[in-house]
Chain A
Amino acid sequence: MRLFADPHPVRLEWEEGELRSMRVADRRWTVVEVVRRWRVEIEWWKKDGGIARDHLTLRTADGTLCEIFGDRHTGDWYLQRLLD
């Protein structure tokens, strides 16, 4: 398992509302399954609005499990963890 201290920005690619692939830097991963999805919204009272994230655990075509999260404030997505 790899946990990134500084999560890597990712770009998600959707087709007809389904998540098809994920691009991290130059690498493109085909998503075959959204394994888990959850939402964290905490510390809303803090100056920066706290943490508001949608988390996804994805299974890619090569069998890797990736945990990514989307920052609900900015709309940006990041790769946080890889289970390969």
Chain B
Amino acid sequence: MAFVHLHSHSCFSFLDGTSTPEELVEAALEQGMDALAVTDTNGLYGAVRFWNAARERGIKPIFGTELRILDDPAAPKGSVSHLVLLARDRAGWTSLCRIVSAGQLAGKKEEPRFTLDLVERYRDGLIVLTGCAAGAVPRAVRAGDMDGARAELARLLQIFGDDLFVELTDHLGPDDAATCDTLAELAAEQGIGTVVTNDVRYARREGRRLHDVLRCIDLGLTVDEAGERLAGNGERWLKGEQTLRDRLGRFDEAFRNARHIADRCDVDLDLGHQRLPGFPVPEGNTAFSYLYELCQQGAREKYGRITPRVSKQLAHELDVIERAKLAEFFLINWDIVRSCKERRIPAQGRGSAADSIVAYVLDITKVDPIAHDLLFERFLTEDSKTMPDIDIDIATNDREEVIQYVYGKYGERYSAMVCNLVTYRARLASREVAKALGFRAEVLDRMAKAIDHRAVDSRAVFHDHPGHHPHYGGAGLEEPKPLADTVETLAGAFDAKERERFPLFRELTLAIADLPRHLSIHNGGMLITAAPLVDVVPIERATMPGRNVVQLDKRDVEDLGLVKMDLLGLRTLSLIKDAVAMIEARHGVRLDLGTLPLDDPAVYDLICEVDTIGLFQVESRAQAQALPRVLPRCFADIVVEVAIIRPGPLQGNAVNPYIRRRQGREPVTYPHPSLEPVLEETLGVIIFQEQILKVAMVVAGFTPSEGDRLRRAMSRARSAEDMERLRAPFLAGARRTGVDEATANVIFAQIAAFAEFGFCKSHAAAFALTAYHTAHLKLYYPAEFYVALLNNQPMGFYSPAVIAGDAKRHGVRILPVDVNASMAKATVEEAPDDAARPDIRDLSGAIARHRACRTHHVRLGLTYVKHLGEEEAGAIVAERERGAPYRSFEDLARRAGLKEDALRSLALVGAFDALGEPRRALLWRARDAHRTSPAFTRPTLAFPATEAPPLPALTPAELAALDYRITGVPTGPQVMAFYRPHLARQGVLRSMDLARVAHGQRVKVAGAIVVKQHPETAKGHVFLSLEDEVGISSAILRPATYKRCKAVIDTSAAVVVEGVLQNVDGVLSVLARRVEPVQLFVRLAMREWQ
């Protein structure tokens, strides 16, 4: 073995490298190399992926970075020279982390400040190379400044001594050979070793085009404009030794030095031994003894009487935890949840943690794993190589408080948020590639819009390309199919240059897909380390002021064996917290949702009626289609319901068989008789991840750990070959247990299809519990529920307008914004039941029978008003509470200090109606009123006040239009009510009338498009949810129909759909044949979902 590349950039040099670490590793292997260094710019972003890929493929990873060192650290901005650092050992890794972190934190986001002093300070364990053409020494040589080059080299030599090497790089540029000769002479003069590198930017020769395009994206230029800022040729690929020797063979020692350096470098990134930061326990306790005590106490509280099964499971889990040395990990999580409870912040563990009875008795999770027959091994196995994952959902509005608690507890030197890697998706990729190729701005917009929302993955847009993503196909998964209306249909809009470059656009957009674009802060992942953070991982500034972020993502941190907490914001928990507080204030009932029995028939009635708008997890269109067919009547049914409407079961063809079996239309069968105990609860169909483990245990004789490893491996498999590697041991195991190969293959295909997307049962159960709680709130306290729902937008599936419509259909009035009644946010307000309002009638079933009160309604908050932010809304309320109710429009203007736009919005939306002030006249007076406000700062421009002439009152339609325009929430009739007479004359039915029509009849139905959905699993079908004044109807468009009607749907807020009524088990939908626009007088918000 000889030469090793010591200077290579991956795609984690963001817009200056095109290949993933995996691709670089493959290329190195193809060139017969047994080691490789990845030296991304100013960071170690790709280090863990590189480490994993190198270990998997059996080559030695060498970790490094190329820094952009400020030539003059005193200057705020200035020229930089490049320097490559390689970690020789673990101390070198720590040095890399310290240098990268210190330089990143010394500057601004994306403008780090690295200095040579900084590198000198942390040079322990590093080998230093002089860098590419932009290094200080080669740059001086190229400029003909030999004295300068000697001086730079001497300075570096003084700092780094024998660990310094001069890079010799020849990219076949006109002066490269001569520069290498000079550099070699200078190195020899000072007794410094040389090393051949190629400053690699792409694994293979063909990566050059993409590299040029990435550089253009980074520079904000087109390829035509970039000129000499692009490389003069395509020689920066990972070349083999012989190719390099053709140019640099005269520097034999520099080749041998590359080998020697590679041999000297040896870093193992397994940091697991220093992962736990330590948790303070009462004197006389160890972490484990304290955990044990807490568990015993918690078990008594949760179970009362501890049954042998509880006791046995608890003992087993504690045994595993003790042997895996994870007691502190559980204590850290327990402490976070405990602190939340103290602060009355809703928090609960989700995911596989709910499989653990220890997590349950510590109150980290809320689902009883014994009652729901959950499988601990899905969460943690004794020989697990990675830390277990406990995700904690926290009420979104309080999450920051919890993060601050963790920072406070462990210190900012030991805790930070992990990053989220933002990668190129189809729309961004197409926009940026097209821009770099010189496509015109108007064409860019049209191209981005033409890429259907469904096709967020460019693989779907360009599926016919031979390089389509290998993940699909071999794994038994359905390959994404493009809709016909991709960018190709825009060919007519292209000019000659764009037409000519379209093939390049296709090629490069495909190539850029999934490459990292930049980092963002992960919304919940928090790393806590035992050693100071910067000794272990690199960190940098986040966009959020004052916050730092680790240059590694969740999976990286997990792979390093470090402790990561997932503190996720869940708006539904904020909804629950707000609603519970209002119920206590209004009704004097202090709800403890955690103690609610889960067998309330009325809750199941509500769900079976599909009265689920606003309910967690069961409100979507797909759920609305499934609920009447599944008809959940117990908590376990909701768990299945939550788990089943997912890509996994849909792609694994599990949904319809389950429903047919539940309805008794299909016999319950099992792929093999031995699977009956495993799959009985789901009628023979694989629905939960835990079942994969159990299937592997039963069919292939795997241990729980092996079963979980199979599940993980399947979920990470990227190719048919990966999947085949997993198949063999499964089939071998099946042979040993006596399952025939054909059956074993069928079973393998079923679990493979499901592995990536499925829910674990414990996760579904945790979500189902929250779903149940939201159902309870909506059922008994609808006004409080709707208020909390509106105050925590955006969340869920529907817009505020649809939520308001749902409230009105439950007899809950939406009271308009009122300057003397509204608070900043929506509130519950008591008002007499208004039976006279035809648009506010309780049409519901379960809620009408069970609601606690009929006189509580929703008063819209001031922040819903356009041009009013939280500050202005707060000012209005504060001034009212400080002084007295507002007496007039001018009174508010004078006291609250609002700008004219805000005053106009308040006037138009009727916030002064209760004062008897006509809206049009107020509008006339808004300018003059504004002049009396403290916000008016230009008195010299004042005009004389004028009186409004007599103005006509607003019509009901105008009032509705103003609601939609200014708050987005109609307080009067839903917009379709204004069209009803006209629609009725055309034979268009209301949504509620469809129930009276026979299956197969031709019908017309109309509504505002409130949801448009393109599920990947629906083979090109598109689903519309249409809201009218009495409810929501559903329309299905086949691919051909959608193609024909797409323009109408894209440009119309409301439509008439003509088609055939389908009634499947009481689920009504219209299979569309024609779609006609309805020209509305209002603009509506539509939510589009995949």
Which A residues are within 8 Å of any B CB, using their own CB? 36-45, 47, 55
Chain B contacts for A55, CB-based, 8 A = 174
C-alpha gap A36/B232 in the complex (Å): 16
Find out whether the CB atom of B437 lies under 8 angstroms from the CB atom of A45.
yes
| CB within 8 Å for A36 and B177 given contacts A41-B233, A42-B232 | yes
Chain A contacts for B500, CB-based, 8 A = 47
Q: Which A-chain residue is minimally distant from B227 (CB atoms)? A: A42
C-alpha gap A43/B212 in the complex (Å): 10
B223 located at the interface, meaning its Cβ lies under 8 Å from any Cβ of chain A in the complex: yes
| CB within 8 Å for A45 and B232 given contacts A37-B172, A37-B177, A38-B173 | no
> Chain B interface residue count: which class?
10 to 19
Report 23 cross-chain contacts, Cβ distance below 8 Å, ordered by A residue. Answer: A36-B174, A36-B177, A36-B178, A37-B172, A38-B172, A38-B173, A38-B174, A38-B176, A39-B173, A39-B233, A39-B235, A40-B232, A41-B232, A41-B234, A42-B230, A42-B233, A43-B223, A44-B208, A45-B437, A45-B501, A45-B504, A47-B500, A55-B174
Total A-B pairs, Cβ < 8 A: 34
| CB within 8 Å for A45 and B223 given contacts A37-B172, A39-B172 | yes
A36-B174, A39-B233 are known; give 12 further A-B pairs, CB within 8 A.
A36-B177, A36-B178, A38-B174, A39-B172, A41-B232, A41-B234, A42-B232, A44-B212, A45-B209, A45-B437, A45-B501, A45-B504
Min C-beta distance of A19 to chain B, whole Å? 14
Chain A contacts for B209, CB-based, 8 A = 44-45
C-alpha gap A36/B181 in the complex (Å): 13
C-alpha gap A73/B212 in the complex (Å): 20
C-alpha gap A72/B603 in the complex (Å): 75
A interface: dominant SS: strand
Q: Which B-chain residue is minimally distant from A42 (CB atoms)? A: B232
Contact with A along B211-235 (1 / 0, CB 8 A): 0100000000001000000101111
Chain B contacts for A43, CB-based, 8 A = 223
C-alpha gap A38/B235 in the complex (Å): 11
C-alpha gap A40/B232 in the complex (Å): 6
Instruction: Please report which residues of chain B, range 157-210, place their CB below 8 angstroms from some CB of chain A when the two chains form the complex.
Output: 172-174, 176-178, 208-209
Q: Which B-chain residue is minimally distant from A47 (CB atoms)? A: B500
Min C-beta distance of B843 to chain A, whole Å? 61
**Interface core residue of A36, A38, A40, A55 (most chain B CB under 10 Å):** A38
Which B residues are within 8 Å of any A CB, using their own CB? 172-174, 176-178, 208-209, 212, 223, 230, 232-235, 437, 500-501, 504
Chain B contacts for A39, CB-based, 8 A = 172-173, 232-233, 235
Min C-beta distance of B904 to chain A, whole Å? 51
Q: Which A-chain residue is minimally distant from B497 (CB atoms)? A: A47
Chain A contacts for B173, CB-based, 8 A = 38-39
Min C-beta distance of B510 to chain A, whole Å? 16
C-alpha gap A36/B178 in the complex (Å): 9
Q: Which B-chain residue is minimally distant from A50 (CB atoms)? A: B223
Min C-beta distance of B225 to chain A, whole Å? 12
Chain B contacts for A40, CB-based, 8 A = 232-233
Chain A contacts for B208, CB-based, 8 A = 41, 44
**Interface core residue of A37, A38, A45 (most chain B CB under 10 Å):** A45
C-alpha gap A41/B230 in the complex (Å): 11
C-alpha gap A38/B180 in the complex (Å): 14
C-alpha gap A42/B234 in the complex (Å): 9
Q: Which B-chain residue is minimally distant from A72 (CB atoms)? A: B233
Chain B contacts for A44, CB-based, 8 A = 208-209, 212
Q: Which B-chain residue is minimally distant from A52 (CB atoms)? A: B233
C-alpha gap A36/B173 in the complex (Å): 10
Chain A contacts for B223, CB-based, 8 A = 43, 45
C-alpha gap A38/B232 in the complex (Å): 10
9 smallest CB-CB distances across A and B, nearest first, come from: A39-B172, A41-B233, A38-B174, A39-B233, A45-B223, A41-B234, A47-B500, A38-B172, A40-B232
Chain A contacts for B177, CB-based, 8 A = 36-37
C-alpha gap A47/B438 in the complex (Å): 14
Chain B contacts for A41, CB-based, 8 A = 208, 232-234
Chain B contacts for A45, CB-based, 8 A = 209, 223, 437, 501, 504
Chain A contacts for B233, CB-based, 8 A = 39-42
Min C-beta distance of A46 to chain B, whole Å? 9
C-alpha gap A79/B501 in the complex (Å): 32
Q: Which A-chain residue is minimally distant from B232 (CB atoms)? A: A40
Chain B contacts for A38, CB-based, 8 A = 172-174, 176
C-alpha gap A1/B478 in the complex (Å): 66
Q: Which A-chain residue is minimally distant from B246 (CB atoms)? A: A37
C-alpha gap A37/B176 in the complex (Å): 9
Min C-beta distance of B210 to chain A, whole Å? 11
Q: Which A-chain residue is minimally distant from B172 (CB atoms)? A: A39
Min C-beta distance of A43 to chain B, whole Å? 8
C-alpha gap A40/B230 in the complex (Å): 12
C-alpha gap A13/B501 in the complex (Å): 38
